[in-house]
């Protein structure tokens, strides 16, 4: 098992994102305070919008998982469409700062992330351990691609930190669907869902901070 897969495995086992905390102190600080602190005051409109966009990602992917485990095919299809629509919104926001080619490039990478999340969810529902492992491998590779892409666009974003954060984010996806598959107690699932949202806010805040530094006149 390579180092990234080890990190992903640790993240999957840490329901409060401890793998992310250990790997990326700057992002971890945002995670630690996301439950109680308001959005940062620097570029508040940007932070609010960015949190909303990325929160949409975890909501729509969770809606997909809930529908799959409920055997609701129509609901799953609707949620899958919503995941794609949200990814397009994120890509559009990026294009506003970095141009349409950058937005298109990110959309392609987000499609890879969604593909891994969908495969993970479907495999967990089917009890397909090999399918879950393949999804984890795909997610780890995709996290590296996204991190490299973003770090290449903004010097305020560090590739290693983004990579570790995205790997741990996928760990939340895995913890969530594994809990659903195991029919874990409701309070345990709710705690994981809360942690997943906090972690997503932390990533969104780091991205917002980087954009605000790079484009101080456009950030709001």
Going from N- to C-terminal start, the domains of the chain cover 44-214
DSSP state of 42: S
The per-residue pLDDT for range 80-121, each reduced to its tens digit, is: 999 999 999 999 999 999 999 999 999 999 999 999 999 999
Q: 180 to each of 33, 56, 63, 186, how far by Cα in Å? A: 27, 20, 12, 9
Nearest-angstrom CA–CA distance, 92 and 42:
22
In a structure prediction context, what are the per-residue pLDDT tens digits for the chain, which is 220 residues long?
A: 454 444 444 444 443 333 333 334 434 333 333 433 444 457 899 999 999 999 999 999 999 999 999 999 999 999 999 999 999 999 999 999 999 999 999 999 999 999 999 999 999 999 999 999 999 999 999 999 999 999 999 999 999 999 999 999 999 999 999 999 999 999 999 999 999 999 999 999 999 999 999 999 887 7
State the pLDDT at residue 197. 98
Token output for 106: 């990110």
Is the alpha carbon torsion for 44, 46, 52, 54 positive or negative? negative
Angle at 94 between CA 62 and CA 122, to 5 degrees: 25
SS3 23: helix
Nearest to 173 by CA among 205, 210, 219, 142: 142
Nearest to 122 by CA among 168, 165, 79: 79
Token output for 109: 């990478």
Check: pTM over 0.75? Answer yes or no. Answer: yes
């Amino acid at each position: 098992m390579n180092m990234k897969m080890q990190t992903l495995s640790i993240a999957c086992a840490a329901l409060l994102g401890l793998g992310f905390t250990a790997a990326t102190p700057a992002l971890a600080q945002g995670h630690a305070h996301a439950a109680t602190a308001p959005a940062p005051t620097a570029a508040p409109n940007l932070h609010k919008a960015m949190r909303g966009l990325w929160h949409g990602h975890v909501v729509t992917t969770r809606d997909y998982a809930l529908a799959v485990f409920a055997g609701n095919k129509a609901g799953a299809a609707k949620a899958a469409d919503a995941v794609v629509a949200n990814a397009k919104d994120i890509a559009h926001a990026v294009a506003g700062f970095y141009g349409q080619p950058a937005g298109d490039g990110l959309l392609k990478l987000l499609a890879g992330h969604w593909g891994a999340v969908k495969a993970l969810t479907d495999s967990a529902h089917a009890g397909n351990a090999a399918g879950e492992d393949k999804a984890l491998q795909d997610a780890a590779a995709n996290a590296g691609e996204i991190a490299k892409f973003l770090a290449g666009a903004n010097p305020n974003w560090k590739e290693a930190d983004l990579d570790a954060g995205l790997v741990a984010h996928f760990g939340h996806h895995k913890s969530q669907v594994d809990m659903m598959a195991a029919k874990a107690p409701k309070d345990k699932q709710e705690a994981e869902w809360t942690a997943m949202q906090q972690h997503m806010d932390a990533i969104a805040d780091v991205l917002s901070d980087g954009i605000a530094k790079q484009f101080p006149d456009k950030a709001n």
